[in-house]
């Protein structure tokens, strides 16, 4: 009877999203929480010469701090979206979120995805298109260890995004940048928009026209690349780096809702991985394995 009551209380606790996240790492004690299979994938990628196919391409569309409940209504349910995942992440921070994706682990050990691509084949082309990035981002995320292995960098910083007209302009520019980078034949492209996170930190509510316009533009970008890039050659994914607190504005370590992310893709990632997709740490492996396919 005691065991049953404990299980019941835990289910109620997590179903109601607690204000305090029990057992979660603090800033100073992140731990390597990769699964056995994720560690085995890393050993394989790190210790073998990989044969990459220049005819294969991958695009990762990153939007900063967009919870699943905001994105599920705005991104399409078209047949091109064949993979969806909503998962727990150890971090709630922007830096740790994106670096977990690029390095394949939260401690940023080993080799990031851009360097790993170039290490195996310097002719494979890499590119990034970034929006709403100030010096803090460049210093802490998109710094020398990443940029040394990126062929093309488009970086829009410190621009106005406080009107519907500005949102439309910059979103359309990002789509144009993506189209340019795909036309140029880049094999791995990371496209990033950080406006949603910035607006939410400024306490802009979900029903504000700026937020609605921005989510609509995310849908436009996502739909455009899904429909215009040939599926047989392109792996297309979209994700976010962290969730948000229950108030929908900030994100911190105290609320479990800040520790959830999501991923959408136009291919079955389980099939590419040859095991079940779990979280951020699998994205680097998925990209490399896709680029290795014939």
Question: Using one digit for the tens of pLDDT, what is the confidence trace for 255-264?
Answer: 999 999 999 9
Task: For residues 241 and 162, give the distance between their C-alpha atoms in angstroms, rounded to a whole number.
Answer: 22
By the 8 A CB rule, do 117 and 291 touch? Answer: yes
Task: For residues 211 and 203, give the distance between their C-alpha atoms in angstroms, rounded to a whole number.
Answer: 11
With a CB cutoff of 8 Å and minimum separation 6, the contacts of 178 are 59, 61, 129, 189, 191, 221, 225
**HSE (CB half, 13 Å, CA atoms) of 188?**
28
Is 101 within the bounds of a domain?
yes
Task: For residues 252 and 21, give the distance between their C-alpha atoms in angstroms, rounded to a whole number.
Answer: 10
Total of domains in the chain: 1
Task: For residues 65 and 111, give the distance between their C-alpha atoms in angstroms, rounded to a whole number.
Answer: 25
Based on its alpha-carbon atoms, the radius of gyration of the chain, rounded to whole angstroms, reads 19
Q: Is the pLDDT of residue 1 over 60?
A: no
The average pLDDT across 92-115 equals 94
Task: For residues 177 and 269, give the distance between their C-alpha atoms in angstroms, rounded to a whole number.
Answer: 26
Read off the CATH number of the domain in which 184 is found: 3.40.720.10
**Residue 164 confidence class, pLDDT cut points 50, 70, 90:** very high
Is 1 within the bounds of a domain?
no
Given this model, what pLDDT does residue 133 score? 74
Is 157 within the bounds of a domain?
yes
Extended beta strands in 139-279, E state:
152-156, 188-193, 234-239, 260-265
Is 34 within the bounds of a domain?
no
Is 9 within the bounds of a domain?
no
Cα dist. 266→29, 147, 280, 291 in Å?
35, 27, 17, 15
Q: CA torsion 8→13→14→19, rounded to 10°?
A: -170
Q: Is the pTM of this model over 0.85?
A: yes
**Residue 254 confidence class, pLDDT cut points 50, 70, 90:** confident
DSSP 8-state symbol, 82: -
Q: Find the farthest-apart pair of alpha carbons in the chain and give their distance in angstroms, rounded.
A: 65
Is 41 within the bounds of a domain?
no
The boundaries of the domain holding residue 103 are 56-291
Given this model, what pLDDT does residue 71 score? 83
Q: b/e per residue, 96-120, with b = 16+ CB within 10 A?
A: bbbbbbbbbbbeeeebbbbbbbbeb
């Amino acid at each position: 009877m005691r065991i049953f009551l404990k299980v019941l209380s835990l289910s109620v606790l997590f179903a109601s999203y607690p204000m305090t996240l029990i057992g979660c790492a603090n800033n100073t004690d992140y731990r390597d929480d990769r699964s056995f299979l994720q560690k085995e994938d890393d050993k394989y990628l790190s210790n073998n010469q990989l044969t990459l196919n220049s005819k294969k391409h991958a695009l990762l569309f990153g939007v900063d701090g967009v919870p699943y409940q905001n994105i599920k209504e705005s991104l399409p349910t078209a047949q091109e979206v064949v993979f969806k995942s909503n998962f727990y992440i150890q971090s709630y921070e922007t830096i740790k979120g994106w670096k977990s994706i690029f390095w394949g682990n939260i401690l940023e050990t080993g080799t990031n995805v851009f360097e790993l691509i170039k290490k195996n084949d310097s002719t494979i082309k890499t590119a990034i298109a970034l929006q709403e990035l100030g010096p803090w981002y460049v210093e802490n995320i998109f710094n020398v260890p990443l940029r040394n292995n990126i062929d093309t960098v488009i970086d829009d910083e410190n621009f106005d995004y406080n009107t519907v007209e500005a949102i439309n302009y910059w979103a359309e520019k990002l789509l144009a940048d993506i189209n340019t980078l795909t036309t140029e034949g880049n094999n791995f492209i990371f496209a990033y928009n950080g406006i949603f996170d910035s607006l939410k930190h400024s306490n802009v509510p979900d029903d504000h026209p700026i937020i609605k316009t921005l989510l609509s533009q995310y849908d436009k970008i996502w739909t455009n690349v899904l429909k215009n890039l040939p599926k047989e050659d392109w792996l297309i994914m979209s994700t976010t780096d962290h969730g948000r607190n229950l108030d929908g504005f900030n994100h911190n370590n105290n609320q479990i809702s800040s520790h959830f992310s999501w991923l959408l893709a136009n291919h079955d990632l389980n099939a590419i991985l040859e095991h079940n997709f779990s979280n951020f740490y699998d994205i680097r492996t998925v990209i490399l394995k896709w680029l290795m396919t014939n």
